[in-house]
């Protein structure tokens, strides 16, 4: 990695830290410069504006997420219920560790309804990849029912990530650790399987 690329990467990582500390709406170029241990002029040299810098940071983080999630979805050594649990765990535990970044992505896609944003497009791609895997795993099931069941699961997850605690849940399912995130992910995966067994809304 060249010195220029390393510096850009360091600044982007500082933006991640600032979003987590202050929230995406309260991030300033000064705060980013302080976090990166550089000056505003240096940041302006690499990025034309704060908006461009934040957009590139969000693009970097969502691309990393997609790579990890696609790898989990395409893992043929695992059955679908375990694959679904692994994907949900990754999303939930990632949001626990990086709530500011997660909410920034969800806010753009869900609240602002910017369907053309990188965040929204990436979420849809992950969902469609999971639907494709489910269709291969359950060839005798109605594809529409599989899609609906997964949409219900992911709608629930997105609400809980966007607004944690909005709907009170039992303490054992509150995501306060990776262990709790795994418990909740297993619960979601079991719910999906139960929906299939019951025939969903057919």
pLDDT in tens, the chain (202 residues): 676 778 889 999 999 999 999 999 899 999 999 999 999 998 999 998 898 999 999 999 999 999 999 999 999 999 999 999 999 999 999 999 999 999 999 888 888 888 888 888 999 999 999 999 999 999 999 999 999 999 999 999 988 888 888 888 888 778 999 999 999 999 999 999 998 888 755 4
CA–CA dist 8, 54 (Å, integer): 12
| Residue 157 near residue 88, CB atoms below 8 Å | yes
Q: What is the pLDDT of residue 72?
A: 96
Task: For residue 113, give both structure tokens.
Answer: 């309804």
Q: What is the pLDDT of residue 20?
A: 95
Q: What is the pLDDT of residue 17?
A: 96
| Residue 75 near residue 134, CB atoms below 8 Å | no
| Residue 111 near residue 177, CB atoms below 8 Å | no
Q: What is the pLDDT of residue 200?
A: 57
Of 108, 23, 45, which is closest to residue 53 (Cα–Cα)?
A: 45
Whether pTM exceeds 0.85 = yes
The per-residue b/e assignment along 149-188, b for 16 or more CB within 10 angstroms, e otherwise, is bbebbbeebbebbbebeeeeeeeeeebeeeebbbebbbeb
Q: What is the pLDDT of residue 107?
A: 86
């Amino acid at each position: 990695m060249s010195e220029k690329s390393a510096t850009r990467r360091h600044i982007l990582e500082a933006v991640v830290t600032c979003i987590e500390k202050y929230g995406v709406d309260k991030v300033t170029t000064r705060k980013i410069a302080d976090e990166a241990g550089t000056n505003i002029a240096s940041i302006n040299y690499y990025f034309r504006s704060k908006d461009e810098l934040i957009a590139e940071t969000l693009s970097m983080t969502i691309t990393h997420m997609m790579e990890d999630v696609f790898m989990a979805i395409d893992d043929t050594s695992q059955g679908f219920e375990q694959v679904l649990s692994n994907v949900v765990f990754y999303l939930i535990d990632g949001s626990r560790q990086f709530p500011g970044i997660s909410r920034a992505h969800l806010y753009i896609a869900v609240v602002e309804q910017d369907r053309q944003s990188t965040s929204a497009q990436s979420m849809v791609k992950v969902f469609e990849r999971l639907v494709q895997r489910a269709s291969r795993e359950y060839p005798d099931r109605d594809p529409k029912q599989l899609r609906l069941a997964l949409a219900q699961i992911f709608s629930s997850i997105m609400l809980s990530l966007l607004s944690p605690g909005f709907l009170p849940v039992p303490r054992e399912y509150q995501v306060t650790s990776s262990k709790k995130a795994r418990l909740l992910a297993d619960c979601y995966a079991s719910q999906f399987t139960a929906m299939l067994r019951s025939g969903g809304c057919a």
